[in-house]
Amino acid sequence: MTPPRPRSRPRLAAVARFRGWRALRHHNYRLFFAGQLVSLIGTWMQSVAQGWLVLQLTGDPVYLGLVAAAQFTPVLVLGLFGGVIADGLPKRRTLIFTQAAAMVLALVLFGLTVTDNVGVGQVLGLAFLLGCVNAIDMPTRQAFAVEMVGRDDIGNAVALNSAVFNSARVLGPAIAGLTIGATGVASAFLINGVSFIAVIVAYLRMDGTQLGGPPTLARPTTVAGVMTHLRVGLAFVRATPAVLVPILTIGLVSTFGMNFSVLIPPLAKDVLHVGPTGYGLLMAASGVGSLAASISIAFGRSNRVMLIGVGASLTGAAELVLAASGSFALSLVAMFAAGLGAISMAATANTTIQLTVPDELRGRVMSVYTTVFAGSTPIGGLVAGALASSLGVAEAIGIGALLSLVVGLIVVTWYRRAGLAGLASPPAASTPR
């Protein structure tokens, strides 16, 4: 006689037995997955609304670059120290704090906007403070994934994280475009602030006994101690090509070719003449492409490192089409392809690094990844904004696209010459002494 199925087993956990959803068999990850989906929709709404607000206030794309620099410079400067915090403090508690802080900042921006007291100076200040929060949140969240699902399911968890991010990237901009057109930008900031409740509740409801991971790093009490911990993580990255090459690729392509928050608002407003709704749809098209890449990776049989270079190349090629296009329909197709390439590159790079790094170094190594990924935005955003202001939006997109394409082709050539073109996962690496 077949024993009855335990009633306590959630239906979603049974569904997770399918390969593409296997990370969802973990109770804590299911909470994280649901909370992130709600919160990230709000985050993308704020991103779109903030760009449109800055363009309304100034009319100059240079200020979009300045806002991007204000938001991501703290990640560039403080991100590595965030990795030390990620390894030294309980990650779930840290993430509750960072999400609560981000919620307060979103609500402050709503209050300033709805009362007509907002100026570009306030937007810059709040963007800077959010960057300080993200310098801690980003490496901690990346390192926390393995504690929820373990090393066996980390690749699938990374792909599903990317799917959540890009599902929100589809829904958030589309909703934001409609919301801005109907009620103005302030509503998007309010929705984002409220959306943080979902992810905070998810963290609070997690079962701490099911969280794995190494003991937390002994917290350094001196500057010399902090620098020692940083050097260990950086030494591992420098000595491990399976980590170094993806990080360099991400940094270069993010700097040159992933400046959507700076270049797409003026493209929609001044080149394609499609207004905030069209802007939201362009960002959503990129999100659809990114979501398609995420799902493909989640349900794929293995992590193919060659996708890092191929994805970078596709991103550059698609943006060349975008730069040359004066058609809204063709621009939507190009944004779809750019999103497909960018996330094929980024998700594969993330998984490759997660599978290579030892658990005790995870926070510090992932802080290098997030610092390079997000920290490249201040440099790239300022350059893109300046180019758009002086040469034109299409020209700025084209220059970044060409450089991204070159980087992608170089990486593809390197993997082929290194004999790693068919590698599904990186070789194990030891911790540097």
Q: What is the pLDDT of residue 9?
A: 47
Residue 346 sits at the vertex; the CA angle it makes with 343 and 347, to the nearest 5 degrees, is 80
State the residue for tokens 């306030």: 122
Q: What is the pLDDT of residue 48?
A: 85
300, pLDDT greater than 50: yes
pLDDT band at 430; cut points 50, 70, 90: very low
Q: What is the pLDDT of residue 127?
A: 93
Residues in the chain: 433
Using an 8 Å Cβ cutoff, are 346 and 236 in contact? no
318, pLDDT greater than 90: yes
325, pLDDT greater than 80: yes
Instruction: Give the whole-angstrom CA distance, residue 247 versus residue 377.
Output: 14
Q: What is the pLDDT of residue 420?
A: 65
Instruction: Give the whole-angstrom CA distance, residue 406 versus residue 86.
Output: 34
189, pLDDT greater than 90: yes
Q: What is the pLDDT of residue 15?
A: 45
pLDDT band at 214; cut points 50, 70, 90: low
181, pLDDT greater than 70: yes
Alpha-carbon torsion 362, 365, 369, 371, what sign?
positive
Q: What is the Cβ-side half-sphere exposure of residue 87, based on CA atoms within 13 angstroms?
A: 24
98, pLDDT greater than 60: yes
Mean pLDDT of 139-166: 81
* pLDDT tens digits, one per residue of 164-178: 877 787 788 778 888
* CATH label, 21-417, candidates 3.30.56.10, 1.20.1250.20, 3.40.50.620, 1.20.58.2030: 1.20.1250.20
Joined tokens for residue 319: 């943006």
7, pLDDT greater than 50: no
Q: What is the pLDDT of residue 61?
A: 74
Mean pLDDT of 411-427: 70
Domain-by-domain residue ranges, the chain? 21-417
Mean pLDDT of 421-428: 51
Which is more confident, 373 or 217? 373
Alpha-carbon torsion 99, 359, 153, 313, what sign?
positive
pLDDT band at 311; cut points 50, 70, 90: very high
Instruction: Give the whole-angstrom CA distance, residue 136 versus residue 85.
Output: 7
Mean pLDDT in the chain? 82
Q: What is the pLDDT of residue 112?
A: 95
* pLDDT tens digits, one per residue of 23-62: 888 899 999 999 998 999 999 899 889 988 988 888 877 7
Joined tokens for residue 240: 């491990």
Q: What is the pLDDT of residue 224?
A: 60
Q: What is the pLDDT of residue 133?
A: 93
Instruction: Give the whole-angstrom CA distance, residue 70 versus residue 73.
Output: 6
Mean pLDDT of 305-309: 88
218, pLDDT greater than 70: no
Mean pLDDT of 284-299: 81
pLDDT band at 100; cut points 50, 70, 90: very high
Mean pLDDT of 174-202: 90
Mean pLDDT of 156-185: 80
337, pLDDT greater than 70: yes
pLDDT over 90 percentage in the chain: 31
Alpha-carbon torsion 244, 246, 252, 255, what sign?
negative
Q: What is the pLDDT of residue 219?
A: 53
Burial class (CB in 10 A: 0-12, 13-18, 19+), 77: middle
* pLDDT tens digits, one per residue of 357-370: 887 777 778 778 87
Instruction: Give the whole-angstrom CA distance, residue 160 versus residue 373.
Output: 19
Mean pLDDT of 155-171: 78
Which of the given ranges, 232-236, 376-380, 414-418, has the highest pLDDT on average? 414-418
Q: What is the pLDDT of residue 367?
A: 76
